Amino acid sequence: MTNDIINNELEISWPEGFHRMNEAEFRKAFKDNNPNRWGIMDEERHMMITVLWNRTNMLSAMTVGPKTVAYSVEHKIKTSFDKSSYHFKSYFPKKVSGRNAYGFRYEYMMD
């Protein structure tokens, strides 16, 4: 297992076969230049795991829940892909640093 700390706050471990993504791999996989992103990929198994973060203002954080935030992020990602290459899989709840959070799974085709 390999360990890393994301954004100096969140410790994560991952199995052999994955490597930490570099800037060129992020540019190829995503159509934005978000600097608040961390990711690993396993090219042999065609898998990628990414973590994104943003600071939200407190009013927004108090009025919307983590599921709403996940829906919003998923919608932004979906609209950046060609409709034929993006396929939503599922949302899932997760504890992150003791707080409730939501993630989601999706697939897409890359050239």
pTM of the full predicted structure? 0.67
Domain that holds residue 80: 2-108
How many domains is the chain built from? Answer: 1
CA-CA distances (angstroms) from residue 60 to 41, 87, 95? 32, 29, 20
d(CA 76, CA 80): 7
Return the bridge partners of 10, or none. 6
d(CA 18, CA 31): 22
Please report, in tens digits, the pLDDT of each residue of the chain (111 residues total): 899 999 888 889 999 999 999 999 988 888 777 888 999 999 998 889 988 887 666 676 668 888 888 888 888 888 877 777 888 999 999 888 788 888 899 888 766
d(CA 4, CA 14): 9
Of the chain, the end-to-end C-alpha distance in Å amounts to 30
